[in-house]
Amino acid sequence: MPTNMKVGFNRPNVNPMCQRCGAAKETLIYAIKECPSTRATLTYGGLDNRLISFDFEHCIDWLEADIRLLDKKAMEDLITLLWNSWNNKNNFTFRGKEAAEIIWGRNKPDQGFVKINMDAAIQEGRVGLGVIARDNEGFMLGRGCLKETMMNSAWAELMATEEWVIMAKSLNLKKVNFEFDNASIVNKLNSNGRDVTFMAQCAKEICTKLKSFEATVIMWAPKSYNRLADFICNFVLNKNCIWNFDVNYPREIQEIVIQEAINEF
């Protein structure tokens, strides 16, 4: 990858220092992990702190450590995060500024839209499903339930998507913004039939149901955006229960709600 350090070997007039921070020479490991701007992105994206704080001499060593520590879903999300971070580095190089709104922007849904964050967790043949729905005034509905089934995390999240599409219709929602921390699910839902895998075809069936809404937006968000939905799906698994609440939310989630309100609203 064309870092300043690498380009500088062939073009001596190129400054080898990191253009974003200027604190060190821009090697590949520095560009995608060590630069303060990149570290902030990785931290905000919810990456395990051990993979941020430990020192690695080469990029391949760091990625191998990531693979050993992270599950498949988390690794997919990390690659998406690194891709977005590298694109922002290029924006800084060629345009003079990063697309900060893409990395940091966490805005209320537009007027008339409801934003839905969902997640799924698996434990001993059961799937816990969690969802949070918010409008632009901050009004919130939450729901968690259990399913007895054997599947991997990607299939579980796809099943969660179908469940919450049904829920959104039952609430008579018209305009919905679905946020996922699983890049693979987002890509399949946005593939418009170009992905021919079996999972993608199931996603296509969900997309058909989405057409009944006036407007839908499907987008990826860092794992840190999905803390509440993640908490709900793990809570219902551990308590073996169904959990529903509205804006008068239970005390178990108070700390997360307050923190998310500070970040978002």
Per residue in 140-192, pLDDT (tens digit) is 788 888 887 766 666 777 777 887 788 888 888 889 988 887 777 777 777 66
Both tokens assigned to 231: 């908490």
pLDDT at 108 exceeding the cut of 60:
yes
Distant-in-sequence, close-in-space partners of 23: CB < 8 Å, separation ≥ 6: 17, 35, 36
* Domains of the chain, earliest start first: 4-104 (no CATH), 113-264 (3.30.420.10)
pLDDT at 265 exceeding the cut of 70:
no
Highest mean pLDDT among 108-112, 141-145, 248-252: 141-145
What backbone phi and psi angles, to 5 degrees, belong to 152?
-85, 180
The more confident residue out of 204 and 115 is 115
pLDDT at 3 exceeding the cut of 60:
no
Highest mean pLDDT among 37-51, 118-132, 195-209, 226-240: 226-240
Q: What is the pLDDT of residue 232?
A: 92
Distant-in-sequence, close-in-space partners of 130: CB < 8 Å, separation ≥ 6: 118, 119, 120, 121, 142, 143, 144, 160, 228, 229, 230, 231, 232, 233, 234, 235, 236
Q: Are the C-beta atoms of 41 and 103 separated by less than 8 Å? A: yes
Q: What is the pLDDT of residue 8?
A: 47
pLDDT at 28 exceeding the cut of 50:
yes
**Alpha-carbon gap, residue 11 to 19, rounded angstroms:** 16
User: Averaged over 213-230, what is the pLDDT?
Assistant: 82
pLDDT at 43 exceeding the cut of 80:
no
Nearest-5° Cα angle at 228, 213 to 64: 105
Q: Are the C-beta atoms of 178 and 133 separated by less than 8 Å? A: no
Closest residue by Cα to residue 162 from 147, 183, 181, 141: 147
**Alpha-carbon gap, residue 194 to 247, rounded angstroms:** 40
Q: Are the C-beta atoms of 157 and 219 separated by less than 8 Å? A: no
β-bridge mates for residue 179, sequence order: 117, 219
User: Averaged over 193-214, what is the pLDDT?
Assistant: 73
Per-position DSSP letters for 81-126, written without gaps between them = HHHHHHHHHHHHHHHSS--HHHHH--PPPPTTEEEEEEEEEEETTE
Greatest Cα pair distance in the chain: 64
Highest mean pLDDT among 23-27, 60-64, 256-260: 60-64
Digit-coded pLDDT (tens) for 44-98:
666 767 777 778 888 888 888 888 888 777 787 778 777 777 766 666 555 554 4
Q: What is the pLDDT of residue 231?
A: 92
Q: Which amino acid is at 123?
A: Q
Both tokens assigned to 162: 């179908």
